[in-house]
Structure 1
Amino acid sequence: MTAQFPEPSPRPVPPGGLRASHDDREAVVDRLRDAAAEGRIDVDELESRLELALTARTHGELASLTDDLPTPHSSPATSSSLVSRSPLVLKGGMLGASRGPGRWEVPGHVIAHGGVGGVNLDFTRTECRLTEVVVEAYGETSGVTVVIPDGWVADTGGIDPGLGGLTDRTTFDRLPGTPLIRLTGSGGMGGVVVRHPNKRERRKLDAP
């Protein structure tokens, strides 16, 4: 008679060892952006934590990124409202940074630091229902370029040109229902450029 042994029970997953989902990562990303908007962490630390959040594999790895932040007590409706007001922060760093030209959700406030690699911010394929978007652009070493669709207008009165200057190649023919892009910040050494799509970009937009 063959002896029968009980099947081994699965080992319990240690605390924090559960695998994180895309929604788990996005929730931490939103919380980090809120913390930056509130002045709890600076831009450099935000960028570092966002990179770790997007590559985190477990709940424990995600928890370590927010352990020193206060626990939110808002309702889901209030939380969504805070996320919608959280700024999108782009930092050029060494390799540059960009948002667009694909479809992406436009917040009411964007902060772009050109750094050494530069920043490109392209609104041409976005569907923005906001009446106004504030783009806080700092050209720094390599500059910031903002591309807006035809029919959108930019208010550049809040930009300090700095040494790099401000280049505005947009028209003033605003279509109904389009947002106003209000630029603030400074040109720095690299300058700030705001324009409509160029010929090459228009060909890509017209392609099926």
Structure 2
Amino acid sequence: MEQLRDAAAEGRIDFEELDTRLEQALNSKTHAELAVLTADLPRSDTAAGQPPLVLKGGLHGASRGPGRWEVPGHVIAHGGLGGVKVDFTRVECRLTEVTVEAYGEMSGVTIVIPDGWAADTSGMDPAFGGLTDKTTPDRLPGTPLIRLAGSGGTGGVVIRHPNRRERRKLERNPAQG
């Protein structure tokens, strides 16, 4: 069931297919019946040996970036009590898509993407905290699409391009990594 949920979060199957397969999994009586439910799933970056990046806000918060870091095909962010910020502004990403699974929980998750990158937020459940999408749909050729999934929780999830302060910092230190 975990493999099926991961596949849906990564966009490898849609949510209707997830519901159908989960129901079949619950009614399965043998390991062979279960194996059939995941045998035809498209490979993910995790399956190719690249584990997801997991960030947990905990009590004090967590962040990744702004700096150079290797972007996996799947990022999981749990806001916890301290919140999480994922900043893609200084990365070099050769992937065409990156799945970001965000759970706002109590303090929320903020995702910052460079200008020219686009986001698909259709897989997000805004929940109580909501989803704020301040990105533009103008995706430049060769840039990744951020496919957002998860739940806003009570803290909410924000995806945006750099704000004024972040832009000034990027302009002052263009080669910083």
Provide the rounded CA distance (Å) in 2 between the counterparts of 1:142 and 1:157. 22
Over the aligned positions, Cα root-mean-square deviation in angstroms equals 1.8
Provide the rounded CA distance (Å) in 1 between the counterparts of 2:102 and 2:94. 21
SS in 1 for 2:150: strand
1:132 to 97, 108, 111: 97
**Counterpart in the other structure of 2:133:** 168
Does the aligned pair in 2 maintain the 1:170–1:194 contact within 8 Å? yes
Structure 1 runs (4+) deviating above 3 angstroms are: 80-84
- Give the superposition deviation at 1:85: 2.8
- Give deviations 1:68-88, integer Å, cap 9, x for gaps: xxxxxxxxxxxx985753100
Q: TM-score, normalised by structure 2?
A: 0.71
- Give the superposition deviation at 1:137: 0.2
**Counterpart in the other structure of 2:17:** none
Structure having the higher Rg:
1
1:156 to 121, 138, 146: 121
1:206 matches 2:171: yes
- Give deviations 1:9-67, integer Å, cap 9, x for gaps: xxxxxxxxxxxxxxxxxxxxxxxxxxxx98xxxxxxxxxxxxxxxxxxxxxxxxxxxxx
Where structure 1 has 5 or more consecutive residues not aligned to the other structure, the ranges are 1-36, 39-79
Where structure 2 has 5 or more consecutive residues not aligned to the other structure, the ranges are 4-44
Provide the rounded CA distance (Å) in 1 between the counterparts of 2:121 and 2:46. 27
1:59-78 correspondence to structure 2 within 5 Å = none
Total equivalences in the alignment: 131
Change (3 A) 1:154 1:81: closer
Does the aligned pair in 2 maintain the 1:161–1:187 contact within 8 Å? yes
Which letter does structure 2 place at the counterpart of 1:112?
A
- Give deviations 1:110-169, integer Å, cap 9, x for gaps: 000000000000000000000000000000000000000000000000000000000000
**Counterpart in the other structure of 1:118:** 83
SS in 2 for 1:121: strand
Structure number with greater CO (CA < 8 Å, separation at least 6) is: 2
Identical amino acids, percent of aligned pairs: 76
Does the aligned pair in 1 maintain the 2:46–2:52 contact within 8 Å? no
SS in 2 for 1:101: coil
SS in 2 for 1:85: coil
Q: TM-score, normalised by structure 1?
A: 0.60
Which letter does structure 2 place at the counterpart of 1:88?
L
